[in-house]
Amino acid sequence: MDVTTPANAPWLVVGLGNPGPEYAMNRHNVGFMVADLLAERMGGKFKRAGKAQAQTLEGRIGPLGPGSRRVVLAKPMSYMNLSGGPVNALRDFYKVPPANVVAVHDELDIDYGTLRLKLGGGDNGHNGLKSVTKAMGAEYHRVRFGIGRPPGRMQVADFVLKDFSSAERKELDYLVDRAADAVEALVLEGLERAQSTYNS
């Protein structure tokens, strides 16, 4: 296990996205999709989290017993470019060390469906990460879900706010499932082991 992840500290796993049904299947909302699947696996439902402008679910990841980890799943309801406020409020409330925060997000500079896990780094122009980093610093984990670059001259903002294409949707369930596996591996086994399995 990484030295930055003490066994008794809770984890905060945040899926980044935009609230509302019109955004539900957008490329920018793949973080929400992964969070929803993790909630399903944990056997719970998201609930509104008081003043934090987020939906949350508290539970555990991993086998029953001492090997499991306490996890707070969250979906900020503040829109992507204001994610930092809710994330930092939850981190403070649950007393989560920054290195136990995991942001799951779409990534333009990686091919569709490819995963990359890392700790810290820049925001690469991603407004959700930019907001989180401004609120709490950059030393948190990221699970980056590749969506590829926009075709032709399409603007980035238009591309990320479009739904996945019909061709992409054929693989989407499998890829979201794999991303959820990667989050669980990161929490349970640490960054290096998770990277060796999922950084394809």
Query: Where in the sequence numbering do the catalytic residues fall?
Result: 28
SS (H, E, C) the chain: CCCCCCCCCCEEEEECCCCCHHHCCEHHHHHHHHHHHHHHHHCCCCEECHHHCEEEEEEEECCCCCCCEEEEEEEECCCHHHCHHHHHHHHHHHCCCHHHEEEEEEECCCCCCCEEEEECCCCCCCHHHHHHHHHHCCCCEEEEEECCCCCCCCCHHHHHCCECCHHHHHHHHHHHHHHHHHHHHHHHHCHHHHHHHHCC
* Integer Cα distance of 151 and 95 in angstroms: 42
Cβ-contact 159, 26 below 8 angstroms: no
- By residue count, the chain amounts to 200
